[in-house]
Structure 1
Amino acid sequence: MSLPKLAYLTGEYPRASDTFIQREVAALRELGHEVLTCSIRTTGPEHLVGPEQRAEHARTFKVLDACRSPLRLLRAHARGMRRPRRYLRALTLAWRSAPKGLKGRAFNLIYFAEAGVLAEALENAGVQHLHNHIAKASCTVAMLASELSGIPFSFTIHGPDIFFEPQHWRIDEKTRRARFVACISAFCRAQLMCFAGRPDWNKLKIIHCGIEPTRYAPSRHEGQTLLFTGRLAGVKGVPVLLRALSALAPRHPELRLRLIGDGPERAVLEAMAAELGIAARTEFLGYRSQAEVAEALAEADVFVLPSFAEGVPVVLMEAMAAQVPVVTTRIAGVPELVDHGVSGLLVPPGEAEALTEALDALLADPDLRRSMGAAGRAKVEAHFTAKTEAAKLSALFCATEPRA
C-alpha cells in the first residue's frame, strides 16, 4: 500500500532553531512518504547554517512569495470559487474564527488569501494530508486551506506561548477541525484539554519531538565547559545563568561558558557578562549547524538551560544523546524527559543560587557527570528518537481519510 503524500507547513522553514521539524520530515521520507515542505515566510539567511538547511530551503514552497503574484492569487481563488459552498464555508470560518477587533478580522482575511494559494498548490501536487507545526498563524492558514481544498489537516502543538493566548489563536476551533493533534508531552496535552472541547480529547496524541542519537558522539568530560543552546531571549533565563557563572568562577578557575544561538537580547547579555567580569569566560557563538552543535556537545561537560517557560526542549535531548548531564528548570514537560538525580538536575526557575549549587555539584564530580550522561543517552534512545516518533505520526496520517 502506498503511503499518503504529505505537506508540512510552518511559519518559517527551515530554521536553525527548529531543526526537530526538519528531522521529522526526513524520518517520514525515510518511511516512504513524499513530503512537500511549505513555509509562510521565506527563511532569513541567518538560519541557513548548513547544507541540510540550504537544501530544504531550496525545495520548500514559500506561500507569501507565491501570493506576491496577483495573477497567481486571483487564479487560486477563482479555482476555489468553482466550489462555491466550500469557498463560502472557508470564508465564513475565517471571519468567525478571527480574533476580536478590526485588526484581527483583517489578519484572518489575509490568512484566507494565503490559504487559497496554498490550497491550489496542495491540490496540484496531489497532497493527501496537511500537517502544521506551531499552532499559531500558520495553523490558521492550514485550517482554512483544508476547508478550501477538502484535504484533511492536523497539527503539532508545542507551547508554552500558545497557551498564553489560547482564545486569540482559537486552538479550540483548530482542534475541533483537525483529524488529530500531536502534543509534545503529557503536560502539553493536559494544557490543551483545558481549552479543547471534551469530545475532541480523544484526538490528542502524545508524539514527542525526536532526535537522531547516532549523530552525537559522547562527551569526553575532561574539562570545565558549560554549554547553552537556544534563542537569546528573556524566556531562556540566560541572565540567571550569567549570575551563576560569576558565583562559580572563584571555585572553578578553568570554567567557561559557550552560548550557541542568537536573538534580541544578545547585546544586552554580552554587556552583562562584561559587567560581571566574566566576559573572558563566555563565548557567544551565534547560530550553528547541526553538525557544529554536535561538535560543541562533544566538548561540553555540562549542558545548562535555565528557561522560565518551555515545552520539552530538543536541545536537552541532543545533550543527553551526547551523554552530557543537564541542569535545567523544573517546568512544563521537562520532568518527562529529565529524571532528576539520574540524567541531570532540575532546579526552580529564576533561582540563581539553586542553579549555582547544581552546576557546582556536577563540575566537582566527573564520575557523576559520566553516570548521568549514560542515563540520559539511554532515556533518549528509549523514548525520543525521530524515527520512532515519525512512525507514530505515519500511522496517524495513514488512518485519516480525505473529506468529502
Structure 2
Amino acid sequence: MPDHLTIKSAQLASAKGPIEAADGGVRLRVAYMTGEYPRATDTFIQREVAALRALGHHVQTFSVRTPPASENVEAEILAGRKSTIYLLPPQGLIIAHLAQVFSSPGRYFAALALAWNICPPGIRAMARQVAYFAEAAMLVRLIRKHDLSHLHNHFADSSCSVAVIAAAMGEITYSFTIHGPTEFFEPKYWRIDEKVRRALFVNCISHFCRSQVMLFAPLDCWKKLRIVHCGVDPEAFEVKRHQGRGGRLLFVGRLAAIKGLPIILEVLARLEDVTLDIVGDGPDRQLLEEQARLLNISSRVRFLGYQSQQHIRGLFKQADVFVMSSFAEGVPVVLMEAMAAGIPVVAPRIAGIPELVRDGQSGLLVAPGDVNEMASAVDRLLRDAGLRNRFAIAARHDVERDFNIQTESRWLAEIVSSAIAGRSIGIRP
C-alpha cells in the first residue's frame, strides 16, 4: 500500500494545486465537507470557513444533506446554505459513476474495494455504505468541476466515509478534523484507523482528542496528527463587568442525554432566587420540561430553543454564570464564547475541557454528574462578584491566546500547504 503522505510530483505540479499569490503567500483551493451544513450547532465550522476565506483562500463547502429548516436561526446560515453544494438529493449520479468508470476504471474499482473493506457489519450498514460510494463519485465530479485541490472533512463518521472513498476514487488528497466524543464511541465501526492511514493529515481539536486517536491509529501515522483548536473571535464579545450577588445562569447546547441537563435542573432546585436560561433544542426537551415541573422550578427556567449568535451574545450580557454538565465533550466552543464574554463557567472535569478552563483560575471544574459539587461551585460564584471578575479577565486572556479563530485558521492553512508540499510540520505552532 502506498504511503499516503507522499504526493506525486504530477499532483504538485497540477494547476489545481495551491496558487502562489502576488504577495508570495500560498492561496489554497479546498473542498470543505460535513454531513449537514450549515447548522445552528456548527458555528465553529462556519467561523473556520469564513476565516480561511478572509485569508484569501478559496473554500467551497459541501454537505451530504440539507439541515432541517429549524436550524435557520440567522442570515449567515441562510447565506451559507446558498453557497453550499449538497450531495442529496442526487443529481447526475449515473453520469458521475460512468465518467469515473471510463476515465479511471482502476481507481473506481479500488474505491469500491475500499468501501467494501471498511463497511461495518450488518445489512443496514451495507446499504448505507452503498450510498456513501454513490455519493463519493458525485463528490469527485464536483471537486473536479470546481477545480479544487484538496478535500477536508469535519468529523470522522459517515461524511468521512464518503470523503475517504472519494479520495481513493479521484486520487485526491484528503484530510479530516476529528472532534469527539461520539466518534470515539464506535471507532472500529467507523474504521478511524483506516481513515487516519489514508489521510494526508488529521486535525485533532485538543491534546485529549489526539490521545484518543492514538489509541486506534497505526503507530506510524501518529506523525499525521495535528492539534487545531476550534476558535472564536474574541472581538465579537464584550467582557461583562460583574457587580453584587448574581442570580442568572445560562446553558447553551443540544437538549440530549449526553449533555446531562437533569444535573443542572437539580442544581437550580437547590438554589434560591436563581433563574436559568436554556438555549437549544433536541430530543430530551419534553422530558426536561417535565423534570422542571416536578422539581417545582418551571417558573425559574426558560426553554428558549435555538437562537441566533446575536441573541446569544445578548444573553451572555445578562448571565452571571455559564453552566455545563456534559458526560462527554470535545472542547465546547460555547465555553470559549462564554469565557470571551467574561462569563465565569462551571463545567465538568472531562475530555478536553481542562485544556480550556483552568480550574480555580479561569473557571471552576467539577466532577461529572456530582450535583452537590456543582451546586456548591455555582453558589460560590454567584455570591462573589470579585471572583467572577477575576475569572472573567483570566478567561478572556486564555481565549485570546489559545482559541482565537484567526490564529487557528492561519495554522490550519499552514498545515494544508505544508502537507500538500510534502514539508514536515509540528503538532502545534
TM range (shorter): over 0.9
Q: CA deviation at 1:105?
A: 2.3
Shifted more, 190-199 versus 98-107: the winner is 98-107
Q: Residue 32 of structure 1: CA displacement?
A: 0.8
1:87-102 equivalent positions in 2, closer than 5 A: 87-102=108-123
Q: Return the alpha-carbon distance in structure 1 between the equivalents of residues 327 and 237 of structure 2.
A: 27
Identity of aligned residues (%): 49
Confirm whether residue 48 of structure 1 aligns to residue 72 of structure 2. yes
Q: Give the corresponding residue for 1:190.
A: 211
Task: State whether structure 2 residue 285 is matched by structure 1 residue 228.
Answer: no
Corresponding position: 1:217 with 2:241: no
In the alignment, structure 1 residue 349 sits paired with structure 2 residue 368: yes
Give the C-alpha shift of residue 224 in structure 1: 1.3
- Partners of 2:268 and 2:163 lie apart in 1 by 44
Query: What RMSD, in angstroms, separates the aligned Cα atoms of the two structures?
Result: 1.2
* Aligned mates of 2:151, 2:209 — CA distance in 1: 21
Aligned to 2:3: none
Superposed, which structure 2 residues align to 1:105-184 within 5 Å? 105-184=126-205
The 2-side partners of 1:7 and 1:184 are apart by 20
Whole-Å separation in 2 of the counterparts to 1:311 and 1:90: 31
Unmatched segments (≥5 aa) in structure 2: 1-19, 22-26, 423-429
Measure how far apart 1:147 and its partner are: 1.1
Cα distance in 1 between the residues matched to 2:368 and 2:322: 16
Tell me the distance in 2 between the aligned counterparts of 1:297 and 1:386.
Answer: 19
Which residue does 1:299 correspond to in 2?
Answer: 318
Q: Is residue 41 of structure 2 the alignment partner of residue 17 of structure 1?
A: yes
Secondary structure class of the residue paired with 2:216:
coil
Match of 2:50 in 1: 26
Deviation for aligned residue 1:109: 1.5
The one-letter code sitting in structure 1 at the alignment partner of 2:257 is G
Do structure 1's residue 314 and structure 2's residue 337 form an aligned pair? no
TM-score, normalised with respect to structure 2: 0.91
C-alpha distance in structure 1 between counterparts of 2:72 and 2:87, whole Å: 18
1:9: Cα distance to partner? 0.4
- CA offset digits 1:30-61 (Å, max 9, x no partner): 11111100110101111110010110011100
| 1:85 alignment partner in structure 2 | 106
Segments ≥4 residues shifted beyond 3 Å:
400-403
Render the CA deviation track for 1:49-88: whole Å, top value 9, x for unaligned: 00101100111001112x1x3xx00100011112011111
Q: Deviations for 1:296-355, whole angstroms, at most 9, x for unmatched residues?
A: 111111000111100000000000000111000000010000000011100001111111
| SS at 1:16 equivalent | coil
Per the TM alignment, residue 402 of structure 1 is displaced from its structure 2 partner at its CA by 8.9
What is the TM-score with the length of structure 1 in the denominator?
0.96
3-state SS of paired residue (1:40): strand
The whole-number CA distance in structure 2 between the counterparts of 1:203 and 1:381 is 26
Alignment match, 2:352: 333
- Tell me how far apart the structure 2 counterparts of residues 220 and 283 of structure 1 sit (CA, whole Å): 24
Number of equivalent positions: 395
What is the CA deviation profile of residues 211-236 of structure 1, one whole-angstrom value per residue up to 9, with x for unaligned ones? 11111112243441100000000111
